[in-house]
Structure 1
Amino acid sequence: MKVTLGKREISALSILISIIFFIISLFIFGISLSKLIILITISSVIAILPSFFYTYLTSKKIRGMEERFPDFLRDILSGVKAGMTLPKAIMHCANIDYGPLTPEVRKMATQLSWDVPFPKVIKSFAEGVKDSPFLLRGATVLLECSRSGGDIAAVIESTIENMTIIKRIESERSSIISQQVLTLIIIQFVFIVILVMVYKLFLPLLSSFYSLKGAQTALLPIAVINPAEAVDHFKTLFLITLIVSALVNGIIIGKTKEGKALMGMKYSIFLLIVSLIAYALFIMPRSVEVKCELPTGIISSGQEVEITCQLLVDVSPIKGVLLNLSLEHPEWSKTITVVTDSEGKFKGKFKIPTIRGNLTIGVSGSYTTGLGESIQIDERIGVEVA
């Protein structure tokens, strides 16, 4: 038995799948505000996408039928001019290929061959294409021609001419609007680039604020700033902004180009995917920074030096992280284990042998956030030995 799913059944099934995906993803990826927003967005897309494709395929079929309907009327006109009645002309058209319109034409021809009244056949056709005002007007013309009689050929010929003009105008309009669509897509890409640049400039600025810990200005007490919370808030704000702009631009494109906001979902999904990829690559990853200080700018051979460093993740100091602090040279190296304090700082003493050239301070290790996210730390800083 063949089972056909309608739009309502497809919507219900896709919503169920999106809920299952959301619950499973929560267990796999953990919970954070940014991840929660991304999961909700992806789950919403999963819920909407099947219904959108159903609507999109239906609309594509309708557009194909609209393209071929004037050809169908021309063949009916030829039959009428040859002396056929409207039912006979339609039955004659059943052997002609009209693309997506062919099944409807053959259905009408079959009904007419079974002596179903012509008005009932046309009304049945109109019911099947009720989502298309273009096809409904054509069906109405055929129905009125059968009822009123008169010069049917002239009426059909006038209808064909009007439909051809309408399609030509729609084609020209689509060509003009395509330029606007391209502009909106470019605007979204530029917006993504600007947000990424703002974020990359924002982190060093916040880092400089944190370096002034304890200081205050006339307007802002820097000491009360929590860098980690500030970064997370901005990440969340940027994510929401990217999602909203992608959805809104897609809807505007759909409404402008095709007259239906829902048809803009294909553009929204494309822009949303690009935006989320940009966010995942450039904004979502944690920023790891290691700052190191030496007693003097240049280290002398045989000198004992104390290296003081600070670990910042998203410009916030991290406490209790076990790290490997090393001083490396092509002819010599030494590694010690250190632990960061409440300010993210750690120290290490090294006795420099009699060598010359460049040394490298290495800091390596890993840090696991409270949400189970593992961050790898591997930083290298070059120094000179006199």
Structure 2
Amino acid sequence: MKKFKMNLKILSAMTLGVGAVILLLNFIFLSAYPMVYALVNVAGAVVVIGIPLLYKFNQFKKIRVIEELFPKYLNDIAENISAGMTLPQAMRSAANIEYGVMTPYVREIASKVSWGITFERIMNDFAKKTGSKSMKRNVQTIIETHRSGGAMDTIMRSVAQSLVELEKIKKERSASVYAQMINGYLIFFVFLGVMIGLSSVLVPAFKMGEQTQDLQTVFSEIFRALIIVQGFFAGLSIGKMAEGTLIAGIKHSLVLVVIGYSAFLMFG
């Protein structure tokens, strides 16, 4: 029996269906209760948008962990080769070592080696399954060296060392932009405070008789939309600054949007 495997498209379709049901039931049964209606709308939006984004972010984190573990795997193979093993023997021996989330990939590589599949195909399949562009480049370097008949233990150590140095640079970069991350959060909260102040103090100050309530409703919707847009893109920019990719900003976006929307509902 073929094993069912969840992917982003299936998850997105499922959450879209669940979110649509939540929003429909909310409209039918809770539209008479503005506060509850708005909160359930937030819950529906989190289901539709948040869950697929969190899935994507978890995939991103898994790739990052594999990229961090890959140098250790290369060094272990290089050590085995230096000890007198052939490349296939070294790869099979490395499968006995625990590599965390990378362990299933390593054991699959060892199994394919035992089946007699070519080194190039094994490594290309591995890089493709990880979904990492960086891994594809590194694997291609190793494959080219293997084709040219170079010393595999030497090239694997060199690639591993390069990856370790690159990871150090990434971590140093994240530490150096920590203050900018804090500034990003502070700027958003200042913006949120301004929106709440405008909605709760300035707009009601414009007395226009029967039109006052309609005016407040219109401005509240505008301010709410601005908060959501600002929170989403502020989170993406924070992730880009901290980790060099927009995907890393998803968690910041969700936090800012939920906090901003909830605060505006309570105080706006």
Q: TM-score, normalised by structure 2?
A: 0.89
Q: Is the CA contact (8 Å cut-off) linking 1:86 and 1:146 kept in structure 2?
A: no
Q: Is the CA contact (8 Å cut-off) linking 2:235 and 2:256 kept in structure 1?
A: yes
Q: Distance in 2 between matches of 1:10 and 1:250?
A: 23
- Assess, with a 3 A threshold, how the Cα gap between structure 1 residues 118 and 204 changes in structure 2: closer, same or farther: closer
Gaps of 5+ in 2: none
RMSD of aligned Cα (Å): 2.5
1:203, distance to aligned residue in structure 2 (A)? 5.3
| Secondary structure class of the residue paired with 2:96 | coil
Q: Distance in 2 between matches of 1:183 and 1:229?
A: 36
| Secondary structure class of the residue paired with 1:168 | helix
Alignment of 1:1-386 (within 5 A): 2-30=3-31, 42-129=43-130, 131-202=131-202, 205-206=205-206, 209=207, 226-283=211-268
Q: Distance in 2 between matches of 1:144 and 1:4?
A: 33
Identity percentage of aligned residues: 28
Larger Rg: 1
Q: Distance in 1 between matches of 2:244 and 2:32?
A: 39
- Assess, with a 3 A threshold, how the Cα gap between structure 1 residues 259 and 42 changes in structure 2: closer, same or farther: farther
1:108, distance to aligned residue in structure 2 (A)? 0.6
Q: Distance in 1 between matches of 2:193 and 2:234?
A: 16
Q: Is the CA contact (8 Å cut-off) linking 2:8 and 2:52 kept in structure 1?
A: yes
Q: Distance in 2 between matches of 1:6 and 1:240?
A: 30
- Assess, with a 3 A threshold, how the Cα gap between structure 1 residues 122 and 264 changes in structure 2: closer, same or farther: same
Q: Report the residue type matching 1:195 in the other structure.
A: M
Q: Report the residue type matching 1:29 in the other structure.
A: L
Q: TM-score, normalised by structure 1?
A: 0.63
| Paired residue total | 267
Q: Is the CA contact (8 Å cut-off) linking 1:34 and 1:236 kept in structure 2?
A: no
Q: Distance in 2 between matches of 1:186 and 1:230?
A: 29
Gaps of 5+ in 1: 214-224, 284-386
1:71, distance to aligned residue in structure 2 (A)? 0.8
Higher strand share: 1
Q: Report the residue type matching 2:177 in the other structure.
A: I
Higher relative CO (Cα under 8 Å, sequence separation at least 6) belongs to: 2
Q: Distance in 2 between matches of 1:164 and 1:262?
A: 22
Q: Distance in 2 between matches of 1:258 and 1:241?
A: 26
1:179, distance to aligned residue in structure 2 (A)? 2.2
Q: Is the CA contact (8 Å cut-off) linking 2:57 and 2:250 kept in structure 1?
A: no
